[in-house]
Amino acid sequence: MLQAPGWLVVTSGGLSASASLVAPFIWPAVTARRQHGQQRWSAWTQMVDVWPWAANVDVEVGTGPVTAGVLDARRALVRFRLRRVELRTLLDWCTDPAAAPVHVVSGPAGIGKTRLAVQLATELAIEPTPWVTGAAYPGCAAAAVQAADALRRPALVVLDQADTRLDLVPMFAALASAGPSVRVLLLARTATDGQWWQQLRQSVANQQQAPWLRRVGHLPLLSLGGSAHAQQQLFGKAIDALAHHFDVRFQRPPQLGTAAPDAPIAMLHAAALVAVLRAQQRRSARPVDADETVWKELVDHEAQVWLAAADRYDAGLLPDTQRQTVACAALLGAKDEADAIELLRRIPDLHGTDRERRHRVAEWLHAMYPGVPPQWLSTIEPQQLAERLIFTEIARDDAFTEQLLADIPDHRMARILVLLGTAAPTHPWASRRLGQILRRQPDVALPVAIQITSGTLLLDQIIADCVDQLALPSGLVDELWRALPNAESTATLLRTIVAVTRRRLDQPALTAVDEARRQHDLANALRWADETLTAQHHAERAVELWRDCSQLDPRHRHELVAALRTLAALYRLSARYAEAVSLGRQAVDICQDLSRVDPDANRRLCAQAFGALAAALRDAGHTEEAVQVWRQAVALWQDLSHTDPDVNARWHADALKLFGSALREAGQTEEAVRVGRQAVDLWQQLSDTDPDANRRLYADALNSFGNTLSEAGQVEEAVRVSRQAADLWQDLYGADPDANGRTYAAALRILSAALGDAGQVEEAVRVSRQAVDLWQELCQLNPGFQDQFAGALQDHGSALSDAGQIEEAVRVSRQAVDLWQELSRADPDANQRWYALGLKGLGTVLRRAGQVDEAVRVGRQAADLWQELSRADPDANQRWYANAMLALSNAWLEHGNVAEARSAAQGAVAQLRALTIRKPYDVHRRELANAQRWLANFA
């Protein structure tokens, strides 16, 4: 039986004398622990707004006498009834120990993100082990995570407007060292396929702070009011809650007027508040429209409250000045009373007044909008109301706007740029003001703007123009370069990258190493901007410099390998294939030397170099060697992926896809199908885990695999896979036409070909026509897509011919051949093979149309061109020469010249026999057997 220690004897009277002797040593420790706990809690509350709000919130942090604050989602005035599935998803995430510690909830303004998070906080607070929840103040995200971890209990940190915050990367660093009991919920208006998330992922991945990054969950919120009936119900529930709050009774329930189908719930609640206020003031009971007019009416109602409060505080403000003052406070905020008094200098009517008057105005503001430490003032709630007021006042008075936006504090820059960026596409005044801020305060504004407001054509143009016009200091150039996004940016923002990197090179007294890095940066930027020839010049200079640097210091050989890979890629784009292969071999040789010294440290570099060489070999027509090099690259990536899947799985999947394509082109269709299936399976796993990062790449792998299946004769599966790819690309194209137009059009071409092979000719015609229309539209934007347009025309002509629409097929096929001829004259190395394929296709269509004389003429022209290409590169072209001879044999037979038909068939068999002896692949054997059967007809 367990006994208490001898010095502790508990009796009915309490502690014995011996215990009282020990007490002085125990209680200080207990008191110290309690004080330490209080200190931890104090540190937490200084960084966050604690949720859910207490019942006496009006006393503690209320919105004073103003009315619209009742719509603040943190008050939870309207009962939470819907989004139970979404709430369950977030509760499961919080309590799942295997889940990533970060989750994203996205949706438009007013859709209900904050209300959902408040309800989550409420539910977590009554868990068996209660959680604490806090919304981190701006700039306090990392400190909030650290304070949450110090609490030693389950804690949820909420970051509202996450897509506009600049404290997320430090927050991820803090989260990397936090315990498993801390969760972070990001609320954003932009989904995780937006630029803010892609940049954040890249920044965090570069610092290797979050191995779980690809497992971050994303919960997009859609409108709850999809039908008029659903909207009326939401409106009615809000009426009930608000009428009870204001003690208003209705003889007849108010009715909702017109509302957009996707009206956010905040707008429906705002309409309900307008109806209740009208009844309270015994005004019109007409239906309330849920549109922008409700925000105007609420601002007008708030203005009545401002006017009454101004009299009490002897503020002496005219109505227009009151609006400007509240808008200024909502936009810039104030951390203390002195800050607020200084802030009021931005109001034209208060700029020259004495401090005492501004002090009375500050007190007036604080009475209506008291803040929660560390803020002395709060903003108007809900956010849409504040934005409406700010937009109206900025647009209305230029003198006010000039003073408001002069010398913006660093900590408010993000909010101002986001508001102006939101308004810019539809309000010219916002575009003008945004440009002014970027020019006046480039050191603060430009890095922020690139991170949080870029991504649309107009905003990117504004940013790019500002960078082009400013003489930027070197420190800012480096900061901008770190902030710039990756190659998936819009074209106008790529101009910014080029402008910035050019300025980096213009800086005086650069060392050789600095110049080499910046030449390489500029080459990559120009490559992304499709300025290939200029990019080559800078890449060549980078390679030259890195060669010199690596001779002086072998540690720079890694940079030399990267520069060689970039230059090889640029040479491939210019059809300088032999030079690209040479550079690829040099990169591989250097990597192999490095691996002999330290194989583990250089395995990844070797895998990248092997991949670059294999791509160059494939373009140069050395398909067999390309297959062997890809095999080595895939083996390396497989090892790396097993060691660190978070970093290397995507590289492994991409190498498998390219390896499968090389096998297909080499005629090794069986292995190509097996490898292609592996690539698709791996990309599907990655896409399921992180759809935002990997869905496009999964769709691309499906495209490639569909081609492989068609080549292998597995037509039914080819149709299924190609259709799946086209459906994915269609969704992606709908979400972002600029980024996904060309890939969707390419997917349509692949699907059309698969449908034709499967005999589904009518659908093949429909899909190929879609591809032609889309490529034509893309060509109008970028003439560089003319080769793809010509290919789409060629496919459409073939589909029309198969469907029996012969006249239209002839017209379209001629159009394709004319375009290929024009492109071949301009760049024979890149387009002559495609011109030859177009001629072969036109000959087939002409034969079917009964125009046999012209079919023979065109068929001869195609065969002659393929013969010339085959002599130059038999590995790449001998198979196609044989196919052209078989097509010519068909045309001669239709013409009635059996001898010429037999001669052409014999030539085709001879070519295929020689090719099969040299390369005994399945596809070559199959085509040889078909040619021999055709020749047997002439026996």
**DSSP-derived secondary structure for 138-151:** TT-HHHHHHHHHHT
Burial class (CB in 10 A: 0-12, 13-18, 19+), 480: buried
Distances (CA, A) of 404 to 340, 400, 412, 539, 632: 13, 6, 12, 46, 62
Asked if the model's pLDDT at residue 55 lies above 70, the reply is no
Rounded CA separation 897/808 (Å) = 28
Q: Both tokens of residue 105?
A: 């909830």
Give the pLDDT confidence score for residue 556 in this predicted structure: 93
Which one, of 393, 376, 383, lies nearest residue 328 by Cα?
393
**From 104-113, 360-369, 472-481, 777-786, the region with the lowest mean pLDDT:** 472-481
Closest CA to 266 of 109, 146, 117: 109
CB-based contacts of 501, cutoff 8 Å, min separation 6: 481, 518, 521, 522, 525
Identify the CA nearest to 219 among candidates 687, 691, 685, 684. Answer: 691
Q: Give 255-294 pLDDT, tens digit per residue.
A: 888 887 778 888 889 899 988 888 887 776 788 888 888 8
pLDDT, residue 373, reads: 67
Q: Given pLDDT bands bounded at 50, 70 and 90, which one contains residue 88?
A: very high
CB 350 within 8 A of CB 318: no
Cα torsion through 782, 784, 790, 796, rounded to 10: -40
Q: Where is 104: in which H helix or E strand?
A: strand 102-106
- ∠ CA 103-162-433 to the nearest 5 degrees? 160
Q: Tens of pLDDT along 1-12?
A: 333 333 233 333
Whether 376 has a pLDDT exceeding 80, the answer reads yes
Q: How confident is the model at residue 25 (pLDDT cuts 50, 70, 90)?
A: very low
What confidence score (pLDDT) does residue 456 get?
61
Encode pLDDT of 885-927 as tens digits.
Answer: 999 999 999 888 999 999 999 999 999 999 888 878 777 788 8
Cα separation, 660 vs 677, in Å, equals: 9
pTM of the predicted structure, to 2 decimals: 0.60
Which pLDDT belongs to residue 453? Answer: 62
CB contact at 8 A, 174 and 146: yes
| Token reading at 226 | 């999809």
Question: What's the rounded Cα separation, in Å, for the pair 560 and 582?
Answer: 14
Who's near 258: CB < 8 A, 6+ residues apart? 289, 290, 291
Q: What is the mean pLDDT of the chain?
A: 84
Which amino acid, one-letter code, is at 536?
Q
| Contact status, residue 902 vs residue 857, Cβ threshold 8 Å | no
Residues near 318 by Cβ (< 8 Å), separated by ≥ 6? 349
